[in-house]
A and B are shown apart, each in its own frame.
Chain A
């Protein structure tokens, strides 16, 4: 549990962080909460030579209301998302998901941006980001762009972020009501299955994490939704990469996905 040698630098602005990333190339990594990166470094699964700390960057840890959206700085911690009034009032599904993450230490350090950039297939936020149709704001040397949730998650630990891009914020459209339901893996307490559901008029939008290599929108469920939870039977329809491990094989995980979609729909 001793990382390889590395240097550390604290960036004051997004621009500086981007320049540093460019300067150090592959040897450098952004660190925010450090709660995915540092464990990997301690196991020497990651051996960056330079860590660029973005936690001190002004403006990256604010939560504001902009019209119909709640804009959340990438550096906001999981804990902030559980207590913030704007989040609780307008994106309650996000604060529910944040509450399910790790323990108090993890929630005090880990960040929204870090979790999304890391894209662990068992992490909690992706379901919420998908169900809310949030957009990820990324900044690189060519400026800022937004990426839709559906485009963002591309594979196991893989996202649409380009080399040298930093997530600065996530824009969540306000939702009237949402819920996050999670089946905890008994050792790590990450999600075996995590389901976010939000109400959108008569319709629902459902995001599922933990089940497949890439978190997904359960569109088959959404299409079949008739106000009842019967459509939960479609939870893994069209998903061809259901994950399997000693806690949940494909059959059981698929079953859990249906149970948790049902629970989410019933909790709405």
Chain B
């Protein structure tokens, strides 16, 4: 019997993607559909004196134009996570209107929507909308936003803070330990702002049906149910049972499509006003200006060591930009997804992180691939490597000295950190040891010495990361400020012929769920993969769901499906026992049939399925049918970890960095499909390298974005990246049925500090200790000159 778990099975969904037959929102054309364009502010901070739509209204094909004065958006788009001030003051949460009315708070903020028969007409008419702005001074840097006298983003509060927060040990205790430490290393830097750049821009179609009074919203989202909930309960106050949210194929999200955006709600509202469907698809410039960004932390940090090189204390202060409005999960990112990872993979006994989260005249910052954990990992892994250099200890040795010893979470307990979490299982020695082997670390050091003697600048950089995925359980995240649960729903419907439909609240936008979920369902049921179909992305089909982000799909969504599979097998056993005239406990299930132990008497899954729906000869009192839905709320996060090692060469004339090798040894727990895991790791690594070397959203002092196109925002390309060498160790997660941890973000978390460490290593003999990301040739060259 063919099994599927652990095999590199090619992705089923790729056939339609490669043939251009995907069902993306922008591909959908509805009868009588209208098109829309937004009028957006060219200023970061301005008063809107007047909006004149007279000329635009007269333009060809215009159906309707709405501005902030219309009755849309009374409630605004809410934030989904509340983090209150340390002193107990409630988080400052500004109204985020669907259209700005009197005041502009970032470049690209929409002031009007123009709806027309064609897209061209909508764009043409949008140019005729006259807006009179009074431009005002802006602030875009999170640290400057907190300086006295900084322009206020929201005038109702005395300063720009949205909240502040801290985690870990008592600050005074940490400071005292640093004061008496043998050695203290320090860093100040900015973890720069990034644009997520999903290849498919955001796209929505809202369709209000006058006859049924129902809405359908087609949207490129990572979590359709959450969008429906926010839309109905918070923004528009419309009945949830009359709203269907559909999100078939989505071309990447990286976090940016988790959130509920103003355009989604506005289209839904306007569709009822005009009684026709409305489409809007972002263009690339709009994506740069309006998709939630990632990172943007200004960091100041100290780490103390004893004589042996053991970390004794770690203290960090950060300013983390929120942007002009609070995006759906924004407050969680620099706090519960960030500070809670400050233990890293080390036994640091004293840790304190203090965060101030200011508003800035920029688009919102929210979770972007890794969300808070890349920022934590970058800081820790740069600090360790910097300290190693300064203390003249090999960076690998310094890591080995400080690692938390291996623990499997079953025989040895989970590891309790200083920053609230308890790690599930880990073997950090294992991944570093393997990573060094894969690289040939000792040989490389010799090669490096030879190269250096001949003037060639070679460097190696290590990072050993840990991250937290599948954040849960709901009650705990609720107590930390989440305004939603973080469980998942998985339903398994066995058809009378024994074919299986699986409905998941997880959402695939590149992850390959249709393949991986079918692999383990087929295995657990002992049936062919072709007999299993995975359905997602339609609120009318799937009971509920929390969607896909934070590498949660397999560990949370997969576990919910497993629960339903178990219920199917349990009920199936009752039917089988009846058919076989045996006791349930005498049956065993394998290879798609129930067999009476020790005999050749058996009944197949297909027979049992048919019997469940044609219950003529059937157990008394048992309901017909074979269809179960389950909610799975995990007991803990999962904690993947790994070691990434980069080798770089720096051009001594120009400062240009070439990535020569990249080695990744990750531990993502049990692996369902190694090819897909490799793909996830490699994709993540490329994004991590992008942050290290290329990418940066730049706002100037006045709040203009200087990097709003691919002419100015550098994305990694194939020829920037060497073959990524991957391997794995396997430390199963002890608390979910598949023993899986998550692989979606690991690459982006581990790669960035490895690359920066490598560049700094290449230049260490020139006295270079740090370079601000991205390490553009200019920055590297300038660092070499000083």
Residues on A facing B (Cβ under 8 Å):
1-2, 4-5, 43-44, 183, 186-188, 190, 246-249, 252, 255-256, 259
Contact A249 B124, CB 8 Å, known A1-B283, A187-B710:
no
B171 CB–A CB distance under 8 Å: no
Contact A246 B707 (CB under 8 A): yes
Contacts of B781 in A (CB 8 A): 252, 255
A246→B283 CA distance, assembly (Å): 24
Chain B residues near A255 (CB-CB < 8 A) = 781
Pick the residue among B283, B284, B712, B778 that contacts A187 (CB under 8 A): B712
Set of chain A residues within 8 Å of B229, measured between Cβ atoms? none
List, sorted by A's number, 18 A–B pairs whose CB atoms are closer than 8 Å.
A1-B283, A1-B285, A2-B119, A2-B120, A2-B123, A5-B120, A5-B124, A183-B654, A183-B777, A186-B714, A186-B777, A187-B712, A187-B713, A187-B714, A246-B707, A252-B777, A252-B778, A259-B654
Point out the residues of chain B lying under 8 angstroms from A190, CB to CB: 711
Contact between chains at B127 and A44 (CB < 8 Å):
yes
**B283 to chain A: which residues have CB within 8 Å?**
1
Residues of A contacting B713 with CB < 8 Å? 187
Which chain A residues lie closer than 8 Å to B707 at the CB level? 246
**Cβ–Cβ < 8 Å partners of A249 in chain B:** 778
Contacts of A187 in B (CB 8 A): 694, 710-715
B412 touches A (CB below 8 Å): no
Is the Cβ of B710 less than 8 Å from the Cβ of A248?
A: no
- Nearest B residue to A253 via CB reads B778
List, in ascending order, chain B residues with CB within 8 A of A246's CB. Answer: 696, 698, 706-707, 712
Q: Give the distance in Å from the alpha carbon of A132 to the alpha carbon of B358 in the complex.
A: 56
Q: Does B601 contact A (CB under 8 A)?
A: no
Residue B242 interfacial (CB < 8 Å): no
A130 to chain B, nearest CB (A): 23
Q: Give the chain A neighbours of B714 by CB distance below 8 A.
A: 186-187
In the assembled complex, which residues on chain A have CB atoms less than 8 Å from the CB atom of B119?
A: 2
Q: What does the 1/0 interface line of B503-526 toward A look like (CB < 8 Å)?
A: 000000000000000000000000
Q: Which of B123, B653, B778 contacts A247 (CB 8 A)?
A: B778
The complex places the Cα of A256 from the Cα of B123 at a distance, in Å, of: 42
- Which residue in chain B gives the minimum CB-CB distance to A122? B711
A101 to chain B minimum Cβ distance, whole angstroms, is 15
* A-B contact number at CB 8 A: 48
The docked-state distance in angstroms from the alpha carbon of A2 to that of B710 is 17
Most B Cβ at <10 Å: residue of A186, A248, A259: A186
Closest B residue to A189 by CB, please name it: B717
Q: Is B782 an interface residue (CB 8 A)?
A: yes
B776 contacts A by Cβ under 8 Å: yes
Residues of B within 8 A of A2 (CB): 119-120, 123
CB distance from B400 to the nearest CB of A (A): 36
Contacts of B653 in A (CB 8 A): 259
Closest to B774 in A: A186
Q: Would you call the interface of chain A mostly helix, strand, loop, or mixed?
A: loop
Within 8 A of A (CB), among B693-707: 694, 696, 698, 706-707
- Residues of chain A with a CB closer than 8 A to B777's CB: 183, 186, 252
A residues within 8 A CB of B715? 187
The distance from the CB of A222 to the nearest CB of chain B, in whole angstroms, is 22
The answer to whether residues A186 and B712 also contact, given A2-B119, A5-B124, A259-B654 and a CB cut-off of 8 A, is no
Return B37 CB to nearest CB of chain A, in Å: 8
Partner of A256, one of B285, B654, B712, B782: B654
Q: How far apart sit A189 and B411, CA to CA, in the bound complex (Å)?
A: 55
C-alpha spacing A75/B654, complex, angstroms: 35
In the assembled complex, the CB of B98 is this many whole angstroms from the nearest CB of chain A, namely 23
A43–B284 alpha-carbon span in the complex (Å) = 10
* CB atoms of B776 and A188 under 8 A apart: no
What is the CA–CA distance of A43 and B714 in the complex, to the nearest angstrom? Answer: 19
What's the nearest-Cβ distance from chain B to residue A43, in Å? 7
Q: How far is the CA of A189 from the CA of B711 in the complex (A)?
A: 8
Q: Which residue of B lies closest to A2 (CB)?
A: B123
A94 to B278, CA, bound (A): 50
A5 to B284, CA, bound (A): 20
Contact of B284 among A1, A4, A188 (CB under 8 A): A1
Find chain A residues with CB under 8 A from B711 CB. 187-188, 190
Can you list the 6 inter-chain pairs with the closest CB atoms, starting with the nearest?
Answer: A187-B714, A186-B714, A188-B711, A1-B283, A252-B778, A259-B653
List CB contacts (< 8 Å) of B254-302 with chain A: 283-285
Min C-beta distance of A1 to chain B, whole Å: 4
CB-CB < 8 A to A259: which residues of B? 653-654
A61 to B116 CA separation, bound complex (whole angstroms): 43
A98 to B119: give the CA distance in the assembly, Å.
37
Contact yes or no, B776 A186, CB < 8 A: yes
B117-168 contacts to A, CB under 8 A, are: 119-120, 123-124, 127
How far does the alpha carbon of A5 sit from the alpha carbon of B698 in the complex, in Å? Answer: 33
A68 → chain B closest CB, angstroms: 36
Complex CA gap A1/B124 in Å reads: 12
Q: What is the minimal beta-carbon distance from B62 to any residue of chain A, in angstroms? A: 15
- Taking CB atoms, residues of chain A closer than 8 Å to B124 are 4-5
Asked if B120 contacts A247 (CB within 8 A), the reply is no
B778 touches A248 (CB 8 A): yes
The CA-CA distance from A183 to B706 in the complex, in Å, is: 21
B782 touches A252 (CB 8 A): yes
**Minimum Cβ distance to chain B for residue A18 (Å):** 30
User: How far, in whole Å, are A268 and B393 apart by their CA atoms in the complex?
Assistant: 46
A246 to B699, CA, bound (A): 11
Chain B positions 742-786 with a Cβ under 8 Å from a chain A Cβ: 776-778, 781-782
Chain A minimum-CB-distance residue to B283: A1
A188 to B694, CA, bound (A): 12
Instruction: Give the residues from 212 to 259 in chain B that come closer than 8 angstroms, CB to CB, to chain A.
Output: none
- CA distance in complex: A5, B654 (Å): 45
- Bound-state Cα–Cα, A1 to B285, Å: 9
Give the complex CA separation of A2 and B120 in angstroms: 7
Q: Which residues of A contact B710 (CB under 8 A)?
A: 187-188
Known interface pairs A249-B778, A252-B781, A259-B653; 9 further A-B residue pairs with C-beta atoms within 8 A, sorted by A's residue number: A1-B285, A186-B777, A187-B710, A187-B713, A187-B714, A246-B698, A246-B706, A255-B781, A259-B654
